[in-house]
Structure 1
Amino acid sequence: MPDVQALVNDFVLKIKRRKIEGSQATAKHTAELLRQVVSQQRITYTNQAASLIDAVKAVGEQLIEANPVELAIGNIVRRVLHMIREENVSSAMSAVEELALGSDDDEAEHDNRMGLSAAAVAAAARSTLRAPSLQTLLEDIPDSATAPHPPSSGGDSEGKSKSAESSSRNKKLKHDVIEAINELIQEIDTCHELISAQAVEHIHQNEVILTLGHSRTVKEFLFAANEKKRSFRVFVAEGAPRYQGHVLAKELVGKGLQTTVITDSAVFAMISRVNMVIVGAHAIMANGGVIAPVGINMVALAAQRHAVPFVVLAGSHKLCPLYPHNPELLLNDFKCPSELLDFGEFSDCMDYDGQLGDSPPIRVENPAFDYVAPKLVSLFITDMGGHSPSYVYRLIADYYSAEDLVVRRKSAP
């Protein structure tokens, strides 16, 4: 697929040069690229699903390797893989039902065979789309139900018919997967609107809201509550060292919201006046923990100390099926030191002879993200509704397949 590979190389280059940043933009571009991969994939295997899965995994590995910190890329790759598996099982189930309904056998035998076939397909669906659990073990069916029926003799005509049916199912599978990816892209586009629609359920009259830095999701959430004639006040921590809170404060004031800008160090002093903390997120991990802009863990600890609800807003494309301790994860990114110190400042303290083993007296590190433990989070608000941290595992099971959790191969030592 030379055309697709050129698109992949171009996208990888944009990611490495940071021309595409932000979880939503990255997730949308990834989904659009994978749609091209699926649409141009040739039918090389008898099992079209295996061919599509191999192609998506090969591209996904390159994309994840380009920027491991942007977890939305891996999330979209895994969701597309889950869609392929799901549509494949659905297609197989439809084929079994059509075969059973088209048979002219005795009614009792027909019902029995249809029930066994449906049970076999259901078992295959469970084993393919779900992680092993007690429920799936209890739902297992007898081996007799999954035993294949002896093939009937039909000669070459029957073989050609089966080949034609297989080709038709493969084309339908590709079409269904593309439609599912289109729905995913639409979901990514509308995530902010769906989250903002829930604002009136959580923000009430005369409340005081605290946030840190700048998040488009938080901004539109507050705008939506303001449009519903809710009168409330917002404390905005400036979010050093990038001071994105200043940008958010100006946008809120432009909409007529009562806004107060505070320093990050003043959060603990002001938190007792706050009714709710609302922040955005970079990613939601499988254990309910949150990867968020630096400084938010401090806010979460202050909120817990004063029993203030800590609410996280995030689209479903930020749900990551991995745990923070996974060895293949790279959860933090370090920004340019010039955001902390001007060029030339403390230059006299940084001069050193450069001998082996020597290091400058001052190191300037500027991490981009914090990790917030699940016990500090009160509620997640996604485009699918509000959920507690303990419910994240259920969302992960609905969106991802267990066999797709590791897409990127470990680098050779």
Structure 2
Amino acid sequence: MPDVQTLVNDFVLKLKRRKIEGSQASAKQTAELLRSVVSQQRLPYINQATVLLDAVRAVGEQLIAANPVELAVGNIVRRILHIIREEDLTSTASAMEGLSLSANSDDDDNYEREDHQALSAAAVAAAARSTLRAPSLQTLLEGIPESASAPHPSSSGGDSEGKSKSERSSRSKKLKHDVIEAINELIQDIETCHEQISEQAVGLIHQNEVILTLGRSRTVKEFLCAANEKKRSFRVFIAEGAPRYLGHVLAKELVAKGLQTTVITDSAVFAMISRVNMVIVGAHAIMANGGVIAPVGINMVALAAQRHAVPFVVVAGSHKLCPLYPHNPEVLLNDFKSPSDLLDFGEFSDCMDFSTSGGSPRLHVVNPAFDFIPSKLVSLFITDTGGHSPSYIYRLIADYYSADDFVVRRRSTTS
């Protein structure tokens, strides 16, 4: 297999040069790279999980620093860190339970102690698992049973010590395999997220409705096409999404699928929103507070939808759920594209002449790539795990991430 560091350097270079576009492609390739990191990592006899966590975290720091705006990369790094913690926790709990059962297998009369130790192993696992989640009411309800306590040391002497070593040896071999299997499942979920989201289209889009979207999103396209395949008759208004005009591309794709499509200018959104039954858009990332980072122009659509009480629905895969808040210093909310998308340099070269303007041009061109939509403007999130309100996003994040991994990059300390 190729050297891991070579793979990391190649991927970092692609991220810096913006050779990888789209959250799904970034998430999938990040997961595949980290799977290679895990598979080629040599684990010691003890502290296997710590070694894996440090290796993944070190690579994750490089990937996140290469393109901080692509939040899906950091999301997958944190998801895999959480996977390692959970797999280590599961193997530890099963090993503890196996030791407690095997230590008392020769004593047929000591059932109460055996059950007590098995319960203790489960209790320790439940307590450790709760520490991986952010504080919530559900974690308070999932308490440790009152009868649970720490497992008692076995009295079987050297025999139990030998079994203990064999159990740890088998667990060390099993941990890497379980982590790789879990990463494979994560990659499969990323690949099939569009199909799982599209299955919910029939329950959301009804007959003779008018749907509005902006720009081009593959998730939105497959969502609309899935409803059309189920014999839903509806019309789609597409705001063209200047300056890249990806709405034109989406319009051609929907017309090819047989959907009734109307292209409008971005400035006509407020004038047309009163005729719309629902707004469906894609997202670049979903933040921990329910806010959305989406292509530029969508915040204007969200404000118009709120003014006319039109439902505003965001469709996105679970790999776009980011455990960070917009105010976190690790989050860069925007990326600025080339001014050539807006203006022809040849026609405006006189306005950008440095020699006649005292060292700085009189004309500045700003071309942001993203908007931020507050959670109060979002009606519903449709993910591959179902529909969720903005207030429930925190609960999904608690299931996917560990609180210790929210900030992957190490804090720099000054003396």
Q: Is the TM-score greater than 0.5? A: yes
Partner of residue 37, structure 2: 37
1:351-394 C-alpha deviation (Å, 9 max, x unpaired): 233998x5321110100000000000000001111111011011
Paired letter, 1:396: I
Alignment match, 1:149 = 152
- Cα distance in 1 for partners of 2:141, 2:213 equals 46
CA pair 383-138 structure 1, distance change in 2 beyond 3 A: closer
Q: 1:12, 1:66 within 8 Å by CA — same for their partners in 2?
A: yes
Which runs of structure 2 are paired with 1:5-404 in the superposition (5 Å)? 5-44=5-44, 46-102=46-102, 103-104=104-105, 105=107, 106-127=110-131, 129-133=132-136, 136=139, 141=144, 145-147=148-150, 149-150=152-153, 152=155, 154-155=157-158, 159-353=161-355, 358-404=359-405
Deviations 1:32-64 (A, max 9, x none): 011111111101351211111111101111111
What's the CA shift for 1:125? Answer: 1.9
On the 8 A contact 1:379/1:388 being kept in 2, the answer is: yes
For these two proteins, the number of residue pairs brought into alignment is: 410
**Residues of 1 paired with 2:319 and 2:34: CA distance?**
15
Task: Give me the whole-angstrom Cα distance separating, in 1, the residues matched to 2:228 and 2:286.
Answer: 27
Please give the TM-score of this superposition, normalised by the length of structure 1: 0.94
Distance 2:136 2:314 in 1: 29
Alpha-carbon RMSD: 2.1
Which stretch shows the higher mean deviation, 263-272 or 338-347?
338-347
Unmatched segments (≥5 aa) in structure 2:
none
Letter paired with 1:403: D
- Tell me if the contact between 1:328 and 1:410 (Cα under 8 Å) persists in the aligned partners: no
CA separation in 1, counterparts of 2:277 and 2:137? 41
Listed as ranges, the gaps of 5+ residues in structure 1 are none
Partner of 1:235, secondary structure, is strand
SS in 2 for 1:43: coil
Which whole-Å CA distance do the structure 2 matches of 1:2 and 1:53 have between them?
21
- Deviation >6 Å, runs of 4+: none
Matched position secondary structure for 2:79 = helix
Q: CA shift at 1:113, angstroms?
A: 2.3
Q: TM-score normalised to the size of structure 2? A: 0.94
1:75–1:321: 8 Å Cα contact kept in structure 2?
A: yes
In structure 2, how many angstroms separate the alpha carbons of the residues matched to 1:188 and 1:401? Answer: 20
Offset at 1:100? 2.5
Q: 1:409 maps to which residue?
A: 410
Structure 2 CA distance for partners of 1:11 and 1:78, relative to 1, 3 Å = same
Task: Give distance in 2, aligned partners of 1:147 and 1:191.
Answer: 42
Contact 1:45–1:51, Cα closer than 8 Å, also in 2: no
Residue 11 of structure 1 aligns with an amino acid whose one-letter code is F
8 A Cα contact 2:99 2:164, kept in partner: no
Q: Contact 1:209–1:275 at 8 Å: present in 2 too?
A: yes
CA distance in 2, matches of 1:387, 1:330: 25
Q: Give the Cα–Cα distance (whole angstroms) in 2 for the partners of residues 281 and 246 of structure 1.
A: 18
Residues 124 and 305 of structure 1, relative CA distance in 2, 3 Å threshold: same
Q: Is the 8 A contact 1:311 1:381 kept in 2?
A: yes
